[in-house]
């Protein structure tokens, strides 16, 4: 991946709605800002039960968004990342519908995981309670076949997302076909969505077990053979994340958003500094994503090992987000609004910090100076606010942070002082040569941090005081040195 800021966006929510529109935006108002664009699921259909993460046909572009030729055209303007949804397929897809119609006689029968296929000799209570799942309850749904029989189908996420046996001949062929299609379309990087859940083994957590690493390594080699890099999306305990990062190409730094927010809220930069000292260097850094603001990544392990933040600090963090958002995030979080991810707070990052522009830009500056490659969500790029109208319309918690922009809204947002300052930070991060060098961090005082990058005589330093809520960037220039404050 290019060591430049990335954009992650839905094709139909940043523009008037197609790949051609997105290309016009990238080649026009956003020209030169991003090294890579991650286009969130654009497959058929892109607007299913889980906003595209449950496609009926993963090898087809939804015709409402364009064609594979349009995807290839965008890839000529900017490096392009796409999601390979590893763990599951849509319940409405042809393969699973064939299984429901024909049962074990279906050509696709081996492709789908059931209670019986994973536990042919039955399961103990310990076997079942050991299974890790990001939602309450067990990962099974009872479904009726056309012949009147019933099966317990493995569904890690929702009943509309049917887990597949990635080790079966049909499952492997299915994933291979997607990789081939992606490569043909000029996609240079893939994100393995829900990859940590791909392997099920009796007596284990069925999450990031040794067999999962073997599978990921094999899938990664197949992608690389087709000229694509691989990003693995996993929420996990921070020490586990460090170990995972050693075995894959690239991971997300999901601990960074809550740690920066903790520093903004409390003036205590120590947990953030401790994390940046040990965080994976092969990471994509984020503040906001198409999902919520996670807290599981800074929490304690289930075995009792302490997290990056104490439980009371996490509780206060969440409550402060709700308070600063004037309670709007609370309406989309926890058991509210058909929310599925109980360990995340649903809100834009800007609203979660109380729409404080200086604080927001400081948060972005820390993200851009953190080890890794920064990725900016389209809502965050434009300083988006919680979309309560969309939330009320869909009753889906995550939609509070998934606004549909029209082109004129984008242009208007780009002209605001805060977004203009953010774009200045993006260009600085993309262009200064120091970011191709080495990273160091020091903490002069509890509320302060200094992050420095150095490369071949060039350097850039970010100095932040969370007590005074002030930040400054100093750096080398062709003529000597420069300095500018981080503010609107």
For residue 203, is it left (φ>0), alpha (ψ between -120 and 50) or beta? left
Q: What 3-state DSSP class applies to 218?
A: helix
Residue 413 structure tokens: 């947002």
Helical segments of 147-229, H only: 169-184, 210-225
341 marked among binding-site residues: yes
- According to DSSP, the residues that pair with 461 across neighbouring strands are 452, 474
- According to DSSP, the residues that pair with 460 across neighbouring strands are 453, 475
342 marked among binding-site residues: yes
233 marked among binding-site residues: yes
In the block, tokens 């104490």 appear at 310
Measured distance CA(385)–CA(332) in Å, rounded? 14
Give how far the C-alpha of residue 150 lies from the chain's centroid of Cα atoms, to the nearest Å.
35
Taking the alpha carbons at both ends of the chain, their separation in whole angstroms is 30
Write the CB contacts of 218 (distance below 8 Å, at least 6 apart in sequence): none
Please give the positions annotated as active site: 193, 233
How far CA 206 is from CA of 39, 41, 119, 127, 196, in Å, comes to 29, 25, 12, 10, 8
361 marked among binding-site residues: no
Measured distance CA(366)–CA(369) in Å, rounded? 5
290 marked among binding-site residues: yes
Asked if 392 and 406 count as a contact pair (C-beta separation under 8 A), the reply is no
399 marked among binding-site residues: no
Asked if 300 and 307 count as a contact pair (C-beta separation under 8 A), the reply is yes
235 marked among binding-site residues: no
CB hemisphere CA count around 142 (13 angstroms): 3
Measured distance CA(488)–CA(34) in Å, rounded? 21
CB hemisphere CA count around 195 (13 angstroms): 27
241 marked among binding-site residues: no
Measured distance CA(415)–CA(221) in Å, rounded? 44
Backbone angles phi, psi at 460, to 5 degrees: -145, 135
Measured distance CA(314)–CA(312) in Å, rounded? 5
Backbone angles phi, psi at 228, to 5 degrees: -120, 140
192 marked among binding-site residues: yes
What is the spatial order of strands in the sheet that 438-442 belongs to?
A: 438-442, 448-455, 458-465, 470-477, 480-485
Nearest Cα neighbor of 82 from 68, 95, 96 is 68
DSSP 133-162: -SSSS-SEEEEE-TTS-EEEEE-SS-TTEE
Annotated binding site for sucrose: 88
| Residues placed in the known binding site for substrate | 50, 191-193, 233, 290-291, 341-344, 398
Q: Which residues are annotated as a binding site?
A: 50, 88, 191-193, 233, 290-291, 341-344, 398
């Amino acid at each position: 991946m290019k060591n430049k800021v990335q954009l992650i966006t839905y094709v139909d929510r940043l523009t008037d709605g197609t790949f051609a529109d997105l290309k016009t935006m990238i080649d026009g108002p956003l020209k030169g800002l991003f090294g890579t664009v991650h286009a969130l699921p654009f497959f058929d259909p892109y607007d299913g039960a889980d906003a595209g993460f449950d496609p009926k046909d993963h090898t087809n572009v939804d015709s409402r968004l364009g064609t594979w030729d349009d995807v290839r055209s965008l890839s000529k303007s900017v490096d392009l990342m796409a999601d390979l949804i590893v763990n599951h397929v849509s319940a409405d897809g042809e393969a699973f519908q064939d299984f429901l119609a024909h049962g074990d006689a279906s050509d696709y029968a081996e492709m789908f995981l059931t209670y019986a296929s994973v536990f042919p000799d039955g399961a103990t209570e310990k076997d079942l309670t050991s299974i890790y799942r990001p939602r309450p309850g067990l990962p099974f749904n009872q479904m009726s076949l056309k012949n009147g029989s019933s099966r317990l189908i493995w569904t890690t996420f929702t009943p509309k997302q049917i887990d597949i046996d990635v080790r079966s001949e049909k499952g492997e062929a299915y994933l291979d076909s997607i990789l081939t299609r992606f490569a043909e379309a000029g996609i240079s990087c893939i994100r393995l969505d829900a990859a940590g859940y791909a392997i099920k083994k009796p007596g284990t957590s069925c999450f990031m077990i040794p067999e999962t690493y073997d599978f990921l390594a094999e899938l990664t080699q197949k992608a690389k053979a087709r000229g694509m890099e691989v990003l693995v999306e996993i929420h996990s305990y921070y020490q586990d994340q460090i170990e995972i990062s050693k075995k894959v190409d690239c991971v997300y730094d999901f601990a960074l958003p809550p740690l920066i927010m903790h520093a903004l809220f409390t003036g205590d930069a120590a947990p953030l500094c401790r994390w940046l000292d040990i965080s994976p260097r092969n990471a994509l850094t984020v503040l906001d994503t198409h999902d919520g603001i996670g807290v599981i990544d800074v929490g304690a392990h289930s075995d009792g090992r302490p997290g990056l933040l104490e439980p009371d600090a996490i509780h206060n963090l969440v409550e402060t987000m709700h308070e600063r958002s004037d309670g709007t995030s609370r309406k989309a979080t926890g058991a509210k609004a058909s929310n599925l991810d109980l360990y995340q707070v649903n809100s834009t990052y800007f609203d979660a910090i109380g729409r404080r522009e200086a604080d927001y830009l400081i948060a972005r500056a820390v993200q851009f100076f953190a080890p890794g490659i920064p990725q900016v969500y389209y809502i965050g790029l434009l300083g988006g606010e919680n979309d309560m109208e969309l939330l009320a319309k869909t009753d889906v918690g995550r939609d509070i942070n998934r606004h549909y922009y029209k082109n004129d809204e984008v242009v208007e947002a780009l002209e605001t002082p805060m977004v203009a300052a953010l774009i200045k930070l993006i260009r600085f991060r993309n262009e200064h040569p120091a970011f191709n060098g080495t990273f160091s961090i020091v903490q002069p005082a509890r509320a302060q941090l200094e992050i420095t990058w150095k490369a071949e005589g060039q350097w850039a330093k970010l100095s932040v005081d969370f007590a005074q809520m002030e930040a400054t960037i100093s750096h080398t220039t062709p003529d000597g040195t420069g300095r500018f404050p981080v503010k609107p």
